Structure 1
């Protein structure tokens, strides 16, 4: 099948988390002017598109994913004029800018919700999802069903004013919008989508793009974790009955009118549903984020339930994320870090071989099919927060709620300290806070992120892991990323658009795969990655003339791979 080569398919996208990126005025919080000051650095890295995480006016209960006003910039980040300057400065450098589109829910401080909760007869009452309480046999008020919030506890929040609950799949201050209401949808399209497209943004990353449609009977969900009071609602709230209808409508009414890039955060779904979301003929979104490889080892119903992973698990997950589009007109994404994930070099690498592992992950990412996404700090191999930091250093509402729920449940147990240590190990490995520490620009105080007091603590390793030192070092992770991105674009037929074939599926130490295009006689890309901290044997699993194009070691041993060694060959 001939694939249309849209600009967003060949682009390298760089995600910016504004609060932690670059502070221009010394108030300890990153801002839009800080972003603008680094655009030349990003262009030099090879970035084509910047994805700016939520910069809308917000109470910041969930770092901007609780939007108070879609049409206004959060004052600590800057002004609407600053945003317009960022749009223009990106465009003047031949780069594009996409924003985070947060439309499953708003902040409880949004004017729409203030009206909705004011009375049962308010015209905007039905803009959100309200239900009366249930009562148990003892007459105790209970939520309408047993759905769990993604941020712990019930997904329902009681509101005394009208004696009803509103649905909030995330924080209590993030009420879910009612997408069943056409008037609500049209208001979303106008205020959240069209407003910014008309100002020149080039598209959106669409937050929680599989959650807008809920099963309208709102039944209790099956019990998966018997020890928990509330259960995952995914059966009735994810990839719901009208979700594709809603995405088609948004495309038809708004995004199709612009040359806009749309990438949806869907997370988990069947191949059939995935193709409905991103097949070109379906007219919904351009591409999507699937979580198979980044959640490897986690229970898909609860990311905090982590049981470790094997390389074969990772290979299968990579294959699912990349290959679901094979033979179709759909498109995919490549990512291994974002604002909701730990640092990839900690999650999938080895501290002793940090630089080598980071370069291996760079080769992995730049040789997989789909649009490449890089998260701020990934290009210098920033690491997770130190294990000896206490829970008090963590800022994310998801982490804080989980710890509080755990302490309420087990705080009086005689073995609480032992259980707490185990939980902190998982928090340190998986918590969203790990990717939200300030970007490490140089070795000056606070890593050059701010001249003030940073809103969240800087990782102490900034004196050795920072942008400035890596720019000067030709063998740095940063310069390796630059080279990897250049090679990806030079061999885009294979690396961006090629099909994948895994050659050593059962091997628990190496990951070897081919990238091929439709012409079987044309050259192939041959990638071998040693995911272990041991030296392993190397043998070529196919015949042909091998040309080494990229490696993360200086001297190649034709019989051995060193720990976390990676190679990219072109084979005729």
Structure 2
């Protein structure tokens, strides 16, 4: 929400809409980076970790946000960006000049001299996320620096104890300002492999995933991602949070970790028998599995299996449908399936993570090459930018069907609005008898009121390639059954084949938008007709 008419959302705008979050039923809000930044990568290039980006507001505005959130019993979680800083950060400027204490704050290297041409070249063939070499030459220092993201985002050197201590100071600073925890950005590349005795790094090998030699996927990431030291660093950050609570009292703070790593690595973030790690390493399986082979009941089962069958005992699961880096869930899975996916993450055990707009069924906007601002897209070209740009999923939130969807009173918004804002918005869906928003609120209400969803056991299965069923049960309480048809044709199913303990009839609690069934009515367990795209939450009571 934009409070001052410049077309950009800001802290005061968020504060003015906190009641919406409270009414929605969420308990915590994670903000994308709000720290001072040149905004090359929209705040993920931080020039000052201890100050607020002026176009978002001031530190006093942030304190007012925290105060209002506390009054509403809402938690505010900040986006902690540990892997890199902006090249405009004072730390980097001092490192370029080799000032004392900052010489090795970043990952520097002399590079190589080509034996045939005599010219200096980057030390390795490593590629950045935003296309092209991960190394940049600095004439003043006469060395290359590593940047696994944009060239303006130099990688911090976590093998330097001063860097480790500095980033812990960042955490404590914002804990002092009243934040309830951190979402830690881009953990896989935090450490790269150690250089050999000659100080050289190894080249990555060609992966075979693409023929585009500028694309990061052209090479493997064996040496630049998922190093064991990254796990230990998360344990250290958890210790900072736990020590802070022990010293200052109050509620515990939460640590959320972004990682698209394989299960064997991701699950280590939770901790081990002797130490705690992240409360929630983000679970992107409902994104990544579907990206590989599409939405189907069998793929939903695969995504759930990958987490629940690998998660350490005593830890909390979590389910993520989308975020600022991926196409919106309604655009990826189809608008007809957004209710089914929201139901799924609410009925599964653990924490659910909602990207803004998923509760409305918001879809991606259409962003032209001329309007593209995401560096991932800008580093490509007009022919291929749509493959890389994340702008379509970042279009302004849709509050009303009025000017600028109620997001801003300005003449222009920072990104063009999605085309469907006149029908998909908070005001319209609040006034409509049956809407995505009201379905979402019904699901949150169930989670908050039913012990079965808080503590019950879980059973699930792909009944067919198209139909997925999930049961939550708790002794002494009613069981809940979720069932969804991800196919394109109507189908009749027998839920007793999924669970023989189910009664002959189940009462409908929540239905997807296009379902013509009625809440409060009983439906036969053995002969349940599901139309294409229909999803239901039913009760044994």
2:473, 2:281 → 1: CA distance? 22
Task: Kindly state the Cα deviation for residue 285 of structure 1 after the two structures are TM-superposed.
Answer: 1.2
Deviation per CA, 1:422-471, whole angstroms, max 9, x where unpaired? x57755xxx42122100111111111111112111111221111111111
Question: Residue 487 in 1 paired to residue 472 in 2?
Answer: no
1:555 aligns with 2:517: yes
Task: Give the match for residue 282 of structure 1.
Answer: 275
- Residue 288 of structure 2 corresponds to 295
Contact 1:537 1:560 in 2 (8 A): yes
Deviations for 1:302-333, whole angstroms, at most 9, x for unmatched residues?
A: xxxx675654234312321344326x022222
**1:539 aligns to 2:498 (yes or no):** no
2:145 aligns with: 166
What is the aligned counterpart of 1:315 among 297, 301, 314?
301
> Which structure 1 residue ranges, 5 or more long, are not aligned?
1-21, 299-305, 408-419
Contact 1:526–1:570 (8 Å) recurs in 2: yes
| Contact 1:148-1:154 at 8 Å conserved across structures | yes
1:10 maps to what in 2? none
Q: Compute the displacement of 1:549 (Å).
A: 2.8
Q: Kindly indicate whether structure 1 or structure 2 has the higher relative contact order, using CA contacts under 8 Å at least 6 residues apart.
A: 1
**1:209, distance to aligned residue in structure 2 (A):** 2.5
For 2:344 and 2:35, the matched residues in 1 are separated by 34
1:14 maps to none
Q: Give, in whole Å, the separation in 1 of the partners of 2:85 and 2:273.
A: 29
Question: In structure 1, what is the equivalent of residue 331 of structure 2?
Answer: 346
For the residue of structure 1 that corresponds to 2:352, the secondary structure is strand
1:466 paired with 2:417, answer no
1:513 aligns to 2:470 (yes or no): yes
Say if 1:291 and 1:514 are closer, same or farther in 2 by CA, change over 3 A: same
Are 1:197 and 2:142 counterparts? no
In the alignment, which residue of structure 2 is the partner of 1:117? 96
**Larger mean Cα displacement after TM superposition, 181-190 or 229-238:** 229-238
2:126 and 2:186 map into 1 onto residues whose CA distance is 17
8 Å contact kept, 1:24–1:31: yes
In 1, distance between residues paired with 2:378 and 2:456? 42
Q: CA deviation at 1:379?
A: 1.2
Deviations 1:168-205 (A, max 9, x none): 11000111111111111111111x21101011111111
Residues 447, 454 of structure 2: 8 Å contact kept: yes
Aligned to 1:19: none
Structure 1 residues 329 and 232: alpha-carbon distance in aligned structure 2, compared to 1, 3 A threshold:
farther
Give the conservation status (yes or no) of the 8 Å contact 2:130–2:375.
yes
**Counterpart in 1 of 2:249?**
none
The answer as to whether partners of 2:283 and 2:319 remain within 8 angstroms in 1 is no
Distance 1:175 1:392 in 2: 27
What are the superposed Cα offsets for residues 63-109 of structure 1, whole Å, 9 maximum, x if unpaired? 10111111111000000000001011000111111101111111111
Q: CA deviation at 1:239?
A: 2.3
User: Which segment drifts farther, 288-297 or 467-476?
Assistant: 288-297
Q: CA deviation at 1:270?
A: 2.6
- Are 2:255 and 1:269 aligned? no
Counterpart CA distance in 2 for 1:252 and 1:425 is 41
Which runs of structure 1 show a deviation greater than 6 angstroms over 4 or more consecutive aligned residues? none
How many aligned positions are there?
510
Q: For residues 452 and 206 of structure 2, what CA distance do their matches in structure 1 show?
A: 45
Backbone CA RMSD of aligned residues? 2.3
Report the TM-score, using the length of structure 1 for normalisation: 0.84
Structure-2-length-normalised TM-score = 0.88
**Deviation at residue 146 of structure 1 after TM alignment:** 1.4
Given the alignment of the two structures, is residue 250 of structure 1 paired with residue 237 of structure 2, yes or no?
A: yes
Q: Which residue, 479, 482, 485 being the options, matches 1:530?
A: 485
1:562, distance to aligned residue in structure 2 (A): 1.1
